Amino acid sequence: MTEQVESTTATTEHRTDSINVSDTAAAKVKSLLEQEGRDDLALRIAVQPGGCSGLRYQLFFDERTLDGDVVTDFNGVSVVCDRMSVPYLNGATIDFVDTIEKQGFTIDNPNATGSCACGDSFH
């Protein structure tokens, strides 16, 4: 008796009308939530005034959903973005990097016209 194994290849579509989350970042978020023993939290991303270039990103886990929030699912991970931040984040991609030089979430944002040396803010 032979077992048939079905192979699937996931293709990630890059959306320009929404935020994007890489498979690596989604897996890391899942891992962090499992470590905390929580499955009721979403990853919230927001653009806030501040930083040396005018705007900065905030990424944090949130259990609430506010009026006007845009919620998107990426491989079982809910990503929430408030309606004021959406225009700044359309087409942006959240990734997770784990190298000798750097570890953490990164945001590649085609809407950012410039950034600062700290890498934490943009305009």
Positive or negative torsion for Cα 81, 84, 89, 90 = positive
Amino acid letter for position 115: S
d(CA 53, CA 120): 9
The pLDDT, as a whole number, for residue 36 is 86
Task: From residue 85, give the alpha-carbon distance in Å to each of 19, 46, 99, 113, 122.
Answer: 10, 6, 29, 16, 13
Structure tokens at 17: 């009308």
Domain ranges of the chain: 21-108
Tell me the β-bridge partners of 115. 122
pLDDT in tens, 36-74: 888 889 999 998 877 666 688 899 999 998 889 999 888
* Single pTM value for the model: 0.73
96 secondary structure, DSSP code: E
Domain 21-108 class? Answer: mainly beta
Place of tokens 């225009």: 87
